[in-house]
Amino acid sequence: MFISFFSTFGQISSFDGINIQGQFKSNETGEEGVIFVLLDLDRDTIWSERHEDIVINELNTFDIVLGSGFRFGGSVDNFKDINWEFVDAVELDLL
């Protein structure tokens, strides 16, 4: 099943995470998984985390908190230690 992201936006909720709300371009409800990767200007990974079993409602929207997933890489060990001045891009991929 191919699903692409239509839109995402976030707001800072605390030092420990950022609320993300998004919408899939699919008419199917259920569960999906995503990977977030924060990149610096040199395209090096600052932070990467995985979210599994994201619930997709009847409007194809979802809510997660960036910073609360399973961290699996990057130069920063703790989400609240990220220097956002150096974050150049956020990539979002399906699992």
- Over residues 42-57, the pLDDT tens digits come to 999 999 999 998 888 8
Going by their DSSP bridges, the two strands 45-56 and 17-24 should be labelled as: unpaired
CB 18 within 8 A of CB 63: no
Give the global pTM.
Answer: 0.77
The rounded distance, in Å, linking the Cα atoms of 68 and 25 is 24
The rounded distance, in Å, linking the Cα atoms of 49 and 35 is 6
Instruction: Pick out the chain residues at pLDDT < 50.
Output: 1-9, 11-14
The pLDDT value recorded for residue 93 is 85
The rounded distance, in Å, linking the Cα atoms of 5 and 19 is 16
